[in-house]
Amino acid sequence: MAAQRRPPDGDDQPDNATLRTGRSRGPVLRADAFRNRQRILNAARDLFSRRGLAVPMEDIARQAGVGVGTLYRRFPTRPELISSAFEAKMAALADTAEEALAAPEPWAAFRRFVEQVCEMQADDCGFAAALTITLPAAGEFQAERDRAYAAVGELIRHCQQAGELRSDFVLEDLMLLLIANAGVISAVGDAAPGLWRRLAAYMMQAFAARNEAPLPPGAPPSVLYMALPHLEE
């Protein structure tokens, strides 16, 4: 799913810098450009959430009440728009991971975290997909994802040290669950919106140390990142 770059369509003038854009470390924007940017992001979050990441950019511009050229001037590629739209949600996920890491009972905290992130996927099909793809030049989105991964990786080690989580579990195994959960949500989410809970419960039982058994031979989990869909610019 490649995102095309487009030149301005002449519906407004190039933006001059006067107002900074929230958490972003990008350029400073004048007030009207900042408002356009926020309208685009709000429209993108709504449409991605309801229709997925493949929604046409023209539909996003239309809902935002801006021209397509304005959208592409603010977000030249689809990955840039996706990462900006979900930056706050990824930050919230990273906060949740760090809260779980600080909890006194690591296994209970890990179980709650898995349920929370699966529920975040169920509530937003766009975010469900964004968690399981590779976004080039994702900026703050990737920084927050890295923060979440670091906290979860440490939480996994605490659970294993406590003898609660199977010894061969790795962070990529959690990614497998999220990919599977995204597939369930995409396939039957409308007809059976709570089915993800059953999948998560099954998987948490499989992850428990008391149920540990040899896994079938195959590719190491570390190859998972190379296999993730890559959303090109």
Query: pLDDT confidence of 17, banded at 50, 70, 90?
Result: very low
pLDDT at 228: 58
Q: Tell me what the mean pLDDT of segment 191-212 comes to.
A: 92
pLDDT at 91: 96
Whether pLDDT at 47 is above 80: yes
Query: How many other C-beta atoms can be found within 10 angstroms of the C-beta atom of residue 36?
Result: 22
pLDDT at 158: 98
Q: Tell me what the mean pLDDT of segment 165-190 comes to.
A: 89
Phi, psi at 19, each rounded to 5°: -135, 130
Whether pLDDT at 45 is above 70: yes
> Are 177 and 110 within 8 A, CB to CB?
no
- Nearest 5°: the CA angle 105, 171, 99 is 35
pLDDT per residue over 122-176, tens digit each? 999 899 888 888 777 668 998 999 999 999 999 999 999 999 999 999 998 998 8
* Cross-strand partners of 19: 29
> Are 199 and 189 within 8 A, CB to CB?
no
Structure-token pair, residue 51: 């229709």
Q: Using CA atoms, how far apart are residues 168 and 223, in angstroms rounded to an integer?
A: 16
Whether pLDDT at 21 is above 70: no
